[in-house]
Structure 1
Amino acid sequence: MLLQDKVAVVYGGGGAIGGAVARVYAREGARVFLAGPTEAKLAAVAGEIGAAAETDVVDALDEDAVEAHTDGVVARAGRIDVCVNAVGIQNGAQGKPLAEMSADEFGAPIRDYPRVNFTTARAAARHMTAAGTGVIIGLSSPMARTATALTGSFTMASAAVELLLRQLAAELGPAGVRAVCLRLTGIPETARSLGSSTEATWRDAADRLGVSFEQMLEAVGAGSPLGRPLTVREVAEVAAFVASDRAGALTATVVNVTGGAILD
């Protein structure tokens, strides 16, 4: 198994993507700590996993809460080998031109998305550097590389997260810690059946653009040479490989998990 006896923390572990990552990590032998704001969602994922999962209610924007949480995980498990941030942040006024946004609408994703990744990465890094090993994983979007009209400031927020992880890799590498970003395209499945926080964003965007919600999801999932949308299971499988020792040469990089929708 790829992650036998690893200790993994998944922030956003009750969400569509975080939950999928947690389930695959547990299947691959990891002990998984699920963290997020909603106990019921965390408990639902943990119930599917079984004894290998534990849950903690944590607001990942609260740096003191995150620091206390990571200290608690280390107290229970002895270490943290993998830290994944799959926290869903309100990603701005999608479908609205920048010239029509308020400064607050524009600034919120840029403020919150890098912040939530910074708080979790910093807390994990303290323990990982002391142990001389560890992997920090974050998520971004294609807009980090390709400017797309009407995607709000999530473009800049995603780019900031990618640069954050690259810089962390440069600073933490000498201590044996890797940092990798997974760049994902839109996953309609998360809004259709998995209750992702992106559903509200995409519904609002559909209203602004004058299209149906289903048309919006079709557009979100289009563009892959595979001829189908990305799935959360596929993301989770890549996240398991990246977290494993087999990916020991991967750091300071962005892994293209778009199904070819964005070409490298």
Structure 2
Amino acid sequence: MLEQKTAIVYGGGGAIGGEIARVFAAQGARVHLAGRTGAALAAVAADIATFGRRPAEAAVLDVLDEAAVNAFAAQVGPVDICVNAVGLDGGAQGLPLIEMSADAVVQPIADAARAAFTIAKSAAAHMTDGVIIMLSAPMARVPVATTGPFGSASAAVETMARQLAAELGPRGTRVVCLRLTGIPETATRLGSLTERMWRDAALRLGLSFEEIVEAAGAGSPLGRPLTVARVAELAAFVASDRSTALTGTVLNATGGAVVD
């Protein structure tokens, strides 16, 4: 679906971003990876090389550094697809908001909005008839007690996606957000930032890590949790020319755990 496309995946060394990058490459895209951990990026690039596709190019950078992101986007040049799959600290979970300081609540929201804006702006400068994809969480729509500022951070990303879609649409650029539910394998098998966040929440709530994982992946009427593979396949569809009618929207990718 993505032959002749050039894609940037920010957070390309992470559990979700890495799988998106692999699927994009398998579908024919030339992939550029960016993230904070060089070893993780190199591992994904090595996987992509086994597909017989063009090698994925990787850059270590901090998405909160606007100058670094702009320089990387300029180096890549014309781009068709940009994915923001960066795993930022979503703030303390397992605590009521009123037990947290204002800085502890506001900083994760500011970081999420800053990353979403910086990544999208840098891509838009080199994009025509392309698509920018962001990720969010169910708490952006359905508040859940003791999930900290994570929901507000996700809501900021969704709002940013909608407004950017309105402004970039006349230039042919689409912006779509995928709202994902908890993905147990990111914490139990793939070793992402999610594991640390869920373990910390379990300690604060007096629950076992296994109980937190089970709760995070539950609720789908399909009877199975979301996986990174399903997320990546959906992202590839959204990035393709088969989805040109989609922009300014948040796709419910929770497997029915959150009902629209």
Q: TM-score, normalised by structure 2?
A: 0.97
Secondary structure of 1:180 counterpart: strand
Per-residue deviation at 1:106?
A: 0.7
Map of 1:219 onto structure 2: 215
Q: What residue number does 1:182 align with?
A: 178
Relative to structure 2, which stretch is displaced further, 198-207 or 48-57?
48-57
2:247 is matched with which residue? Answer: 251
Per the TM alignment, residue 52 of structure 1 is displaced from its structure 2 partner at its CA by 3.5
In the other structure, the counterpart of 1:228 is 224
Partners of 2:226 and 2:28 lie apart in 1 by: 25
Among all aligned residue pairs of Structure 1 and Structure 2, give the percentage whose two residues are the same amino acid.
Answer: 65
Asked if 1:206 is matched to 2:209, the reply is no
Q: Which residue of 1 aligns with 2:17?
A: 18
Residue in structure 2 matched with residue 110 of structure 1 by the alignment: 109
Residue by residue over 1:168-219, the C-alpha shift from the partner in whole angstroms, topping out at 9 and shown as x without a partner, is 0000000000000000000010010111111111100000010111111000
Partner SS, residue 125 of structure 2: helix
1:34 matches 2:33 = yes
1:82 is aligned to 81
Aligned length: 256
Structure 2 Cα separation of the partners of residues 106 and 260 of structure 1: 29
Q: Secondary structure at the match of 1:91?
A: coil
Task: Return the offset for 1:239.
Answer: 0.2
1:67 counterpart (70, 93, 107): 70
Q: Deviations over 1:115-166 (max 9, x none)?
A: 11111000001111xxx31100000000011111011111111111001010
Q: Are the counterparts in 2 of residues 66 and 123 from structure 1 also a CA contact under 8 Å?
A: yes
**Corresponding residue for residue 139 of structure 2:** 143
Shift of 1:109: 1.1
CA deviation map 1:71-125 (0-9, x unaligned):
0111xxxx10000000001101101001100112111211101111111000001
Q: Which residue does the alignment assign to 1:127?
A: 126
Q: Do the aligned partners of 1:142 and 1:185 also contact (CA within 8 Å) in 2? A: yes
2:6 corresponds to:
7
Q: Unaligned 5+ residue runs, structure 2? A: none
- Structure 1 segments (4+ residues) deviating >3 Å: none
SS at match of 1:254: strand
SS of residue matched to 1:169: helix
Find the residue that maps to 1:127 and give its secondary structure. Answer: coil
| Pairwise CA RMSD | 0.7
Q: Tell me the distance in 2 between the aligned counterparts of 1:249 and 1:52.
A: 31
What is the rounded CA distance, in whole Å, between the counterparts of 1:162 and 1:237 in structure 2?
20
- Unpaired runs of 5+ residues, structure 1, are none
Please say if residues 226 and 259 of structure 1, whose CA atoms lie closer than 8 Å, have aligned partners that are also in contact.
yes
- Maintained 8 Å contact 1:30/1:52: no
Match of 1:45? 44
Residue 260 (structure 2) pairs with residue 261 (structure 1)? no
TM-score, with structure 1 as normaliser:
0.96
Q: What is the CA–CA distance in structure 1 between the aligned matches of 2:189 and 2:143, rounded to whole Å? A: 29
